[in-house]
Amino acid sequence: MSIDHPDTPAPAGTSRPPKGSFSPIDIAIRYGFLALLVGLVIFFSIYANGFAGPRSAVFVFQSVAITGILALGVTCTLVVGGFDLSIGSVATSSMMLSAYMMVVLEQPATVAILACLAMGAFIGLVNGLLIVKTKIPDLLATLGMMFLLVGLQRIPTEGRSIAMGMTLPDGSTAEGMFSPLFLSLGRHRFDFMLEKLLPAPVIFLVVIGILVWGFLELTRHGRLMYAIGSNERAASLTGTNVNKYKIMAYMISGVLASIGGMLLSARLGRGDIASGTNLLLDAVAASLIGFAVLGAAKPNAFGTAMGALFVGILLQGLTMMNAPYYTQDFIKGLVLVIALVFTFSLSARKSGSH
């Protein structure tokens, strides 16, 4: 049985596309998502009044920032062949913890921030250990952690959100307050096009996105993580400490989720137990849609950022067109399915070409 290697001369009477060329189908698969993104912007600009205005862009940027940060954490777990379903509950727990530290315990912002980062890293560590030591499948381990955190974050306040001046379970009144420095993390806007339009969380997303992209694409550790996700056994045989990198991926995911939760807390000025409900779905959608960007067919930071932007534009446009809220999840799911069709169509064509 012979294998037709790409460099083998084609038999007489047959033709092969020149090396480096793409068929129309390849081009559609590779650039179809970006074309869809541009088309979506044009469509909403025409049919949704005010969508093309600067205020609409601010709302898109704000929603993209937190979703994108969480999605980058999911991307790191996808790279090693895992999946983190606990990110939404980690973000909500971080939001509640930061509010509890400042409003109830009257701690400064720096202590609250460090506590949230430590909590995210610890939860990621526990997730990683459950997966690599007890061999619990990643979906089940992180799903269990999600339910654990959903219950745990409600216990200190008996299921109530945390706000300044709230009545505590013992009947006393919370005397602490959110630090202005902490609130600025989610509310400050930088000058953009002669107006203060660029929310601070967007800067966090850009910086974190660049760091994650550089780590995964340019460092030896990132390449080893991709190798683990591609073929864990082969990576292990080359001497790679597979367990260490898997645990590290989940710790990165936990820390990024905690950052997203703190930014949401800073933006709202309260610890709202219901605000993180859609974070998981949006972050997972963004990270999986990223597979289809530029035909990457793999988890990657740039694709995830574009996926988050797509989700943000889609939701903002639908909201401005007064689309019923109950249709939004359906449309997000439809877009995700289309993106995955692009992804696996490209993968199948790549496999068939070798």
Cβ-Cβ contacts under 8 Å for 273 (sequence gap 6 or more): 92, 96, 153, 154, 159, 160, 161
Token pair listed for 199? 């929310």
Q: Can you give the pLDDT at residue 351?
A: 55
- Tokens 């930014």 — which residue? 263
CB-CB contact of 59 with 209 (8 Å): no
Q: HSE (CB half, 13 Å, CA atoms) of 266?
A: 26
The CA distance from 261 to 258, in Å, is: 5
Q: What is the DSSP letter of 199?
A: E
Sign of CA dihedral 73, 78, 83, 85: positive
3 state SS of 217: helix
Separation in Å, CA 339 to CA 33, 316, 351 = 7, 19, 19
**288-310 pLDDT per residue, tens:** 888 877 766 788 899 899 888 88
Token pair listed for 349? 């064509």
CB-CB contact of 317 with 43 (8 Å): yes
* pLDDT per residue of the chain (354 residues) written in tens, 0 to 9: 433 444 444 444 444 445 455 677 667 667 777 888 888 889 888 888 888 777 788 888 888 899 999 999 999 999 999 999 999 999 999 999 999 999 999 999 999 999 999 999 999 999 999 999 999 999 999 999 999 998 898 888 888 888 888 888 888 888 889 999 999 999 888 776 545 678 889 999 999 999 999 999 999 999 999 999 988 999 998 888 999 999 999 999 999 999 999 999 999 988 888 777 778 888 988 888 888 777 667 888 998 998 888 888 888 888 888 888 778 778 877 877 876 776 666 556 555 555
Q: Can you give the pLDDT at residue 21?
A: 53
CB-CB contact of 265 with 99 (8 Å): yes
**216-246 pLDDT per residue, tens:** 999 999 999 999 998 899 999 888 899 999 9
CB-CB contact of 224 with 235 (8 Å): yes
How many Cβ atoms from other residues are within 10 Å of residue 352's Cβ? 7
pTM: 0.86
The CA distance from 55 to 40, in Å, is: 18
- Tokens 């530029």 — which residue? 294
3 state SS of 162: strand
The CA distance from 141 to 127, in Å, is: 6
The CA distance from 222 to 216, in Å, is: 4
**Alpha helical stretches, state H, the chain:** 24-47, 54-79, 87-99, 109-132, 138-152, 180-187, 200-218, 220-230, 232-237, 242-268, 279-289, 301-320, 328-352
The CA distance from 209 to 201, in Å, is: 12
